[in-house]
Structures are given as C-alpha cells and as structure tokens.
A and B are shown apart, each in its own frame.
Chain A
Amino acid sequence: MRGVALLCAALTAACSSVTPAAGGGADAATAPADSFGQPAAAGEVKQGGALVMALSAEPDQLDPTLSRSLYSRYVFSSMCEKLYDVDQQSKIVPQLATALPTVTDGGKTVTIPVRDGVKFADGTPFDASAVKSTFERNLTLKGSGRKSELGPIESVDAPSANTVVVHLKEPFAPLTAALADRAGMIMSPTATSALGDKFSTAPVCVGAFKLDKRVPQNSIDLVKDPNYYDAANVHLDSISYRIITDANIRAANLRSGDVQVADTLSPQGVPEVRADSSLTVLQSTSLGYQGVTFNVGNVDGVGKPAKPVDTPAAKDPRVRQAFEYAIDRAGLVKVVFNDLYATACSPIAPVSEFSSPASEVCKPHDPAKALQLLKDAGVQTPYPISMLVSNNPDSLRLAQALQSMVKEGGFDLQIKPVEYASLLDQQDRGDFELLQLGWSGRVDPDANITNFLGTGGSQNVAGFNDPALDSILTQARQSTDLAQRRDLYGQAVTKIQESDPLIYLYRQRNLTGVSNTVKGVQVFPDGVVRLAFAGLAK
C-alpha cells in the first residue's frame, strides 16, 4: 500500500483528478503563511562541507548583462553580489552599496555610496569605477537584457572610489529595484575587458563563492572565494547546482539525500515532502502573478499600434468583467494547487510596500452577475471563447478547472494547448483570443505593469491602449515619493480592473524543499534561493 502511495506521489499528474470547486469566492490569500527560512545561528553549523541543490531548469549564460533566465539568478546569488538586495519584506537593502541611493536634481541624479576594501574573486579591487564600467557594459553590450531595466541613464560618474553618480535624462524611480537584481551585479573590469561577450565562460564577481566548473545540462559547481569580504561567515566549501527538471525526481532526490535543497516543488508533491520529518518546506509568495490575457488590440503583433479586434470579448469590457466574475479564485487555488498558492487580483503583491487597499480590491465570484453582464452586452450564452495555454500538466489542470468554472457564468471555454515556444510565438503575433500566462514579478510595480499594459509596451500582448492608465503609470515611474507612488499604483489597478484586459488569478509560492541537515537556507519574495551563508548542521 505504501508503494502505491509512493507511486501516486511520484505520478501526481496521473493520480490527481480535476474537479472544479463549487461556490467560494473569498479572495484573500488562502494558503498558509510564508516561511522564508532563518539565517544559520552561530555554533549551529560546521565549517566546510559541500552542498548540492537541485535546480528545476538550466541557467542560461552566467553573465549578468546577458542572462535572461530566472534560474541564473539562483547561481548568481552565491557568486555575484548586487548593489542592493531585497529582504523578507521585499524591501530593498544595501549589499555592495552602503546605503540606499540619494536622489537629487528633481530625480535626475542618483548618488550611490559603495563599499570600501572589497575585492573581486580575481583579486581586482572593487570600487566606483568598477560599478561605472559594469553600468556602461549593461547599457552598451549587444544583446544586453539590462539596458531597458536601467531606464533613461545619460551617464555614470565615479567621482571617488566609493561614490557612484548616475545622471538620468528623466526621473526613473524603478532604478533602485533594478539594482537589486541582475542590473546591479558588479563584474570585475579585468574579466570583462579580457573576455568581452564571453564573460560567461569564466565569470568573476564579488561573491561568497566563485565558479569552479560547469558541465552543460548537468551541473554548475562553485567553490568558496577566499577574496570575499565576508568570507569568515561563509561556512561551506562548495555548492553544486545540479539540474533536475522533473519535479517528482527533484523531490525523490531530496528524500534520498542526494541533494539537500530543491527548488520549485510541485504543489501536489509538497504534502509528501512535508510528511518526511527530515525535510522542511520553505515557501514565499511570488511578487509575480499568473493570469489570463484577452487579445483586445493585438492584430499586427506586439509593440505595433493597436487595431480593433472584432470579437465581443475584445470590444466590450463587460464580457471580460463577466469572465472575471465567473472565476472562483479560491476554488481554483484549492483544487489545482493544493491550496499552496495565493489568490491574486492585481499585479501588486500584498507583501509589496506599494500594496494598498485600492490595489487589493477584488471582484467576488458571482456567476449570476457574470450572466447578467453577458446579457447586458447582448452576447448569446454560452459564449464560446478559446484559450491558448502551455501544454504542461499544471497549466492544463488550471485550464480544465477554469473551463468548468466559467461554464456556470455563461462561457464555453475551449482549451488550445500548445508547446511553450509556440505559445510565445502565437501570443506575440496576436494569434489568440485569450491566453493563460504569468510573470515572475519584480520588486518595483512598474516592471510588473507598464510593459504589459502600457501603450506600446514590449510585452503588451493584449494590445491594450488606455491613455489614462499610461498617464498614471508615467507619473508613478517618475515620482520619488513612496506614498504618492503607492496611491498612483492603486489608481492604476482600478483602471485595469475596469477594462480587464488582463485578469489576475493567483500568485505562485516559491516552494523549496530543504534537508534538515542544512541550516541557513533562505528564500525571499524575489524567489531566489539563498545558499551563500548556509552550512551543514553540527
């Protein structure tokens, strides 16, 4: 019997059934509270030892300028420190900087104080000129993924060894948050000039660990960096990231002791991992979201001027609002994700300092109202609508649950599963009516909204165009006052919910399995698993 249970746990996709939940409508987070992990207490861990972490996907280039995969951030967190980091409350805190930036000149001059006495892994001194050269590389290197994140930078100065001054063409409040991600990882100027765009073959940063070797599609091995400024607090000798893409196999490796940490556990597999007394599950709610996007104006492709799409769902916001009223988010999260994820109604996570009562407003589950809105819009029910969805098991389960749910609200949802690369292609070409996709999330709300719903946004696949929303987003981007920005983003959420081009459904939780033989592993809302200061338990 235990064998059957084990097999079911391993093959949850086959063993679990999809049954739409009836009723419900609570839009508060239903899942248990976040558990980020604790820093290792003094005397709790041994010095030395090797830690193995199972990674759910292979990182791409280990070059902070060119990296595009979220998984590379996991490895970078151990080897490439940033000017800023985020803490458990998703607040920005200094890392290689010594304080938060000072903003002057009406938001156009940003001054960043940086640490003294720090060395890169190759022995090159870290100073303001290294920061300047990294910024310039991020802004000019062909294919840089950081250029757009850094905003309208005009120039960067290094007036002293520990002061960096950034001159902006116009105020750009999201800059500090960008510097708490890959754009803020400072690279050794010696290495960047020697390797150019091949920096990823031998990356050199400031970090607790440095690259030892990488075996493609298998592993990335790091060793402790003796040059690191806080090396005394680094306990492990080495960290090995082993790529194991299947969630069940990752959990199996965790339970067999072959790995001590595993990211992105499957919500269906979590109870089995929790039942094992030698393991702990860390969970932090993502800053991103999952949702469904209507094609309201994407005819010629993303980024092109919006054109009318001749469907009731594209033309009439009441149809889209009806779709939202037909969704029982709490039921969805419970049925499809074992109640481990949190419901979401806006692009701003409740944990964010930009969250406000206005950004937390949520339409309740009300199928009767959905039917009424469809009637008001003059649409015959059941209203047929097709939804493009990635063909992975979780997305398909979600689509099936949605299909059953919205039926009650007068929709005949047809599911069109496609492979992920094809889905990206179709969404950018505007070849869809409705699609299900999400966003991993950033600390600053600008990065979670403007690109997706701002006119001409690079990821505005809905083809949405609302000058009033654009104006609010621009003001929020240029304001340096937190309270004002919070208020503006509340207004933006209200605007989005009026038109509903994108209906937010839920927020994933970063579910990380950790063996109790390891202490000090932490996961914050940015989703990055932090291993640099972990150690093997005594």
Chain B
Amino acid sequence: MSRYLFHRAWQSLLTLFLATVVVFLGVRALPGDPALALAGEDRSPAVLAAIRQEYGLDRSLPVQFWSFISNAVRGDLGTSIRTGIPVSSMLRTALPVTLELSVLAMLIAAVVGVGAGVVAAVRRGHLAEWFANALALIGLSVPHFWLGLVAILYLAVATGLFPASGFVPLLDDPIDNLHHIILPAVILGTGLSAVLMRQTRSSMLDSLSTDYVRTAKAKGLRPAVVVGRHALRNSLIVVVTIAGLQLGELLSGAVVTEQIFGLPGFGKMTIDAVFQRDYPVIQAVVLVTATAYITINFLVDLLYSVIDPRIRVGADAA
C-alpha cells in the first residue's frame, strides 16, 4: 500500500509540475507585454524598464520560472502586477465567492431539477410533464448571460426585489450576502437543474417500472412513499453521479455569471488577469486549480484502491 501511495504521490507531483511549466510558458506565449498593459498611458521607456525589472520580466525564462516555483513552494504566489496586492490575498477573497456561488447553484439545481424530474416522471403524459420539459429545454438552451441580463432588468431594475450586482461577504452579513448571491446562483443553476431534471425523469421512469416498485405498490404503500422511498432513492445514484460530473461545468459557468453580476470571484479574477496579462495572477489561478484537480484525483484513486485491491496490485506490478 505504501509503495502504491508513493507511486501515486510521485505521479501527482509530476503532473502538477508539468501543468506549472505549461501555464508558465503559455501565458508568456500570449501576444502582448504585461509591462505595456500595466504602464497604461505612461509608456515611457524608463517606466517600462522599471516595471520589467520590478516584476522580473527582464530576466531569462528559466530564472523567472525558478523564482516562481521556489516562491510558490514557500507559499508566496507573488504580487499582482496590476493592483500591487499579494495574489494569495486575492485568492482568499475570490475563492469563497465562487465556492459559495457554485454550492448554492448546485443546491438550487438539485432541488428544482430533481423535484421537476420526479413530477415529470410521476405525472407522465400530463400537463405537468410538458411544463417540466419546456422548462428544461429553456434551461438548457438559453445562455447564462442572457438570462442574467433579463433577471437584472426585471428582478432588480423594474421591481427592485434583488440588488443588480455586488457582493457582501457571508461573515459580514449573512442575510445581505444571501440577498446578493441568490439571483446569480439561480441563473447559474438553471443549466444544471435542466440536466438533473432530464436525468431524474429518465431514471425515475426506469425505477417506476421495476419489480420492487410494483411490489411496494402491491403492499399497499402510499404513492408518496413508493415514489420517495423506493423509486427516487434508487434513481438518485445516477443523478448524483451526473451532478458531480457537472460541477466543472458549473465552475466555468460561474465565470460568465460573476462577470454579469459583478461578483468578485475566481472566474472574474481569471478573466481580468488574462486581459491585463497579469502573469502572477494567471499562474496562481492555474496552479491552485491544477492542485485542486490533482489532489481530488489522487484521493479518488486512493479510494478506488481501498474499494478494489486489484487496482493497487496492478500499480505494484507496474
């Protein structure tokens, strides 16, 4: 087991290193000079030279890479070229926003999607199914940015029910935080809720035609118990798997939603950094994302090996 662990840890570190090299070279391959982007309107040679020197942009690529890696290992992700704020501090403010938005969107999508899916399956051929299907179609086909603009115009500008944009940290004021983030979360969750609705409906239809459901009905159980305790419970396995797979989609959708609602999240930070050629921020964002993915994969592999010992035997053989 320890040999397997060591093998997987080594693989993960190597992957992380390669990801770091790719992003380091990738951002520098982008056309555009960060010193020019930062200099704004004052692009005198002295200012450009000072910027390049300050951020080490005048040094050779290997030196810049070593500086980035050695600092990152010590937990120093550098300073934003644009704002002069430490990148780690920017990440600390941005990550919770995106996480909260994504988790809330997932919850809303789960409640709406699974609920509508159950109704559509149980009330098959009725108006409710058509209604749920139509909603799912809209959810899948209408882009987030359009829905976001419509929501702002009708639910913020016209009625004033929600703020049009902005963010209040959860710990500062939980109620105000929810007031600000609920609308973006609903918009972000629409696509996923449509997917979950379709999936739940399909799984529920399968479950409802199985023998154990027929038996439950024959035992005289109430319809709600048959649907809730027997059919839905078994259908949820697939639904939960799909929901997990869609989490990545949710995070990429958050980029657009954060932009529209002015939420200071991870996605908005990434976009701004790319446009401003803010190398330290782009590098940090990719480093953090890659670390998260690699760590999750590592943990999943470990779980697999615990569940199925043949996996680590295979690794030992390798």
A contacts, CB < 8 Å to B: 3, 6-7, 10-11, 58, 60-61, 63, 66, 68-70, 142-145, 147-149, 198, 200-201, 214-219, 242-246, 248-249, 252-253, 255-258, 302-303, 418-422, 424-426, 428, 439-440, 451, 458-459
Please determine whether A217 and B272 come into contact, CB atoms closer than 8 angstroms.
Answer: yes
Contact of B156 among A218, A258, A303 (CB under 8 A): A258
Which chain B residue has the least Cβ–Cβ distance from A427? B36
Please determine whether B40 and A147 come into contact, CB atoms closer than 8 angstroms.
Answer: no
Most buried by B among A68, A147, A201, A428: A68
**Alpha-carbon separation in the docked complex, A418 to B261 (Å):** 26
**Alpha-carbon separation in the docked complex, A149 to B42 (Å):** 9
The answer to the question of B201 belonging to the interface, with a C-beta cut-off of 8 Å to chain A, is no
- For B37-79 the 0/1 string (1 means CB < 8 A from A) is 1111111111100110110000000000000000000000000
Please determine whether B42 and A148 come into contact, CB atoms closer than 8 angstroms.
Answer: yes
Q: A218-B93, A242-B262, A249-B261 are in contact. List 6 more A-B contacts (CB 8 A).
A: A142-B53, A144-B47, A216-B85, A421-B31, A421-B275, A425-B32
Q: How far is the CB of B82 from chain A (nearest CB, A)?
A: 6
**Alpha-carbon separation in the docked complex, A257 to B38 (Å):** 33
**Alpha-carbon separation in the docked complex, A198 to B84 (Å):** 8
Q: How far is the CB of B149 from chain A (nearest CB, A)?
A: 5
Task: Enumerate chain A residues within 8 angstroms of B261, measured Cβ to Cβ.
Answer: 249
The answer to the question of B190 belonging to the interface, with a C-beta cut-off of 8 Å to chain A, is no
Which chain A residue has the least Cβ–Cβ distance from B158? A6
Task: Enumerate chain A residues within 8 angstroms of B94, measured Cβ to Cβ.
Answer: 216-217
Query: 8 Å CB contacts to A: which residues of B100-131?
Result: none
Please determine whether B156 and A256 come into contact, CB atoms closer than 8 angstroms.
Answer: yes
The answer to the question of B160 belonging to the interface, with a C-beta cut-off of 8 Å to chain A, is yes
Given A244-B262, A253-B164, the answer on whether A421 and B37 have CB atoms closer than 8 Å is: yes
Contact of B44 among A3, A11, A148, A201 (CB under 8 A): A148
Most buried by A among B37, B43, B268: B43
Which chain B residue has the least Cβ–Cβ distance from A428? B36
Given A215-B264, A216-B93, the answer on whether A255 and B40 have CB atoms closer than 8 Å is: no
Task: Enumerate chain A residues within 8 angstroms of B167, measured Cβ to Cβ.
Answer: 218
Task: Enumerate chain A residues within 8 angstroms of B36, measured Cβ to Cβ.
Answer: 421, 424-425, 428
The answer to the question of B152 belonging to the interface, with a C-beta cut-off of 8 Å to chain A, is yes
**Alpha-carbon separation in the docked complex, A256 to B44 (Å):** 42
Question: 7 interchain pairs (CB within 8 A)?
Answer: A58-B82, A60-B40, A144-B47, A216-B83, A216-B89, A253-B165, A421-B275
Please determine whether A421 and B83 come into contact, CB atoms closer than 8 angstroms.
Answer: no
Please determine whether A60 and B160 come into contact, CB atoms closer than 8 angstroms.
Answer: no
The answer to the question of B33 belonging to the interface, with a C-beta cut-off of 8 Å to chain A, is yes
Task: Enumerate chain B residues within 8 angstroms of A214, measured Cβ to Cβ.
Answer: 85
**Alpha-carbon separation in the docked complex, A201 to B153 (Å):** 37
Please determine whether A424 and B156 come into contact, CB atoms closer than 8 angstroms.
Answer: no
Please determine whether B40 and A7 come into contact, CB atoms closer than 8 angstroms.
Answer: no
**Alpha-carbon separation in the docked complex, A535 to B266 (Å):** 35
Task: Enumerate chain A residues within 8 angstroms of B264, measured Cβ to Cβ.
Answer: 215-219
Q: How far is the CB of A202 from chain B (nearest CB, A)?
A: 12
Task: Enumerate chain A residues within 8 angstroms of B53, measured Cβ to Cβ.
Answer: 142
Which chain A residue has the least Cβ–Cβ distance from B90? A216
**Alpha-carbon separation in the docked complex, A257 to B53 (Å):** 45
Which chain B residue has the least Cβ–Cβ distance from A243? B262
**Alpha-carbon separation in the docked complex, A410 to B263 (Å):** 48
Given A246-B259, A249-B152, the answer on whether A256 and B42 have CB atoms closer than 8 Å is: no
Given A7-B150, A246-B260, A421-B32, the answer on whether A252 and B43 have CB atoms closer than 8 Å is: no
Question: What is the interface of chain B mostly: helix, strand, loop, or mixed?
Answer: helix
Task: Enumerate chain B residues within 8 angstroms of A60, measured Cβ to Cβ.
Answer: 38, 40, 82-84
The answer to the question of B188 belonging to the interface, with a C-beta cut-off of 8 Å to chain A, is no
**Alpha-carbon separation in the docked complex, A105 to B206 (Å):** 95
The answer to the question of B193 belonging to the interface, with a C-beta cut-off of 8 Å to chain A, is no
Q: How far is the CB of B260 from chain A (nearest CB, A)?
A: 6
Please determine whether A148 and B90 come into contact, CB atoms closer than 8 angstroms.
Answer: no
Please determine whether B44 and A458 come into contact, CB atoms closer than 8 angstroms.
Answer: yes
Please determine whether A143 and B54 come into contact, CB atoms closer than 8 angstroms.
Answer: yes
Please determine whether A200 and B84 come into contact, CB atoms closer than 8 angstroms.
Answer: yes
Q: How far is the CB of B165 from chain A (nearest CB, A)?
A: 6
The answer to the question of B157 belonging to the interface, with a C-beta cut-off of 8 Å to chain A, is yes
Task: Enumerate chain A residues within 8 angstroms of B50, measured Cβ to Cβ.
Answer: 142-144
Task: Enumerate chain A residues within 8 angstroms of B152, measured Cβ to Cβ.
Answer: 10, 249, 252, 256
Task: Enumerate chain B residues within 8 angstroms of A198, measured Cβ to Cβ.
Answer: 84
Q: How far is the CB of A54 from chain B (nearest CB, A)?
A: 8
Please determine whether B83 and A58 come into contact, CB atoms closer than 8 angstroms.
Answer: yes
Please determine whether A215 and B32 come into contact, CB atoms closer than 8 angstroms.
Answer: no
Query: 8 Å CB contacts to A: which residues of B134-187?
Result: 149-150, 152-154, 156-158, 160, 163-167
Please determine whether B157 and A143 come into contact, CB atoms closer than 8 angstroms.
Answer: no
Task: Enumerate chain B residues within 8 angstroms of A419, measured Cβ to Cβ.
Answer: 31-32, 275
Please determine whether B164 and A258 come into contact, CB atoms closer than 8 angstroms.
Answer: yes
**Alpha-carbon separation in the docked complex, A6 to B150 (Å):** 9
Q: How far is the CB of B137 from chain A (nearest CB, A)?
A: 20
Please determine whether A256 and B84 come into contact, CB atoms closer than 8 angstroms.
Answer: no
The answer to the question of B80 belonging to the interface, with a C-beta cut-off of 8 Å to chain A, is yes
Task: Enumerate chain B residues within 8 angstroms of A302, measured Cβ to Cβ.
Answer: 43
Please determine whether B166 and A258 come into contact, CB atoms closer than 8 angstroms.
Answer: yes
Task: Enumerate chain B residues within 8 angstroms of A253, measured Cβ to Cβ.
Answer: 156, 164-166
The answer to the question of B269 belonging to the interface, with a C-beta cut-off of 8 Å to chain A, is yes
Please determine whether B164 and A256 come into contact, CB atoms closer than 8 angstroms.
Answer: yes
The answer to the question of B276 belonging to the interface, with a C-beta cut-off of 8 Å to chain A, is yes
Q: How far is the CB of A258 from chain B (nearest CB, A)?
A: 5
Please determine whether A69 and B164 come into contact, CB atoms closer than 8 angstroms.
Answer: no
Task: Enumerate chain B residues within 8 angstroms of A7, measured Cβ to Cβ.
Answer: 149-150, 153
Task: Enumerate chain B residues within 8 angstroms of A219, measured Cβ to Cβ.
Answer: 166, 264
The answer to the question of B277 belonging to the interface, with a C-beta cut-off of 8 Å to chain A, is yes
Which chain A residue has the least Cβ–Cβ distance from B148? A249
**Alpha-carbon separation in the docked complex, A70 to B42 (Å):** 11
Task: Enumerate chain A residues within 8 angstroms of B272, measured Cβ to Cβ.
Answer: 58, 217
Contact of A256 among B31, B82, B160, B269 (CB under 8 A): B160
Which chain A residue has the least Cβ–Cβ distance from B36? A424
Contact of B84 among A6, A61, A244, A246 (CB under 8 A): A61
Which chain A residue has the least Cβ–Cβ distance from B54? A143
**Alpha-carbon separation in the docked complex, A214 to B80 (Å):** 14
Q: How far is the CB of A435 from chain B (nearest CB, A)?
A: 14
Q: How far is the CB of A213 from chain B (nearest CB, A)?
A: 11
Which chain A residue has the least Cβ–Cβ distance from B260? A249
Please determine whether A217 and B269 come into contact, CB atoms closer than 8 angstroms.
Answer: yes
**Alpha-carbon separation in the docked complex, A256 to B162 (Å):** 9
Please determine whether A216 and B31 come into contact, CB atoms closer than 8 angstroms.
Answer: no
Task: Enumerate chain B residues within 8 angstroms of A422, measured Cβ to Cβ.
Answer: 31-32
Task: Enumerate chain A residues within 8 angstroms of B54, measured Cβ to Cβ.
Answer: 142-143
Please determine whether A10 and B276 come into contact, CB atoms closer than 8 angstroms.
Answer: no
Q: How far is the CB of A347 from chain B (nearest CB, A)?
A: 14
Q: How far is the CB of A124 from chain B (nearest CB, A)?
A: 22
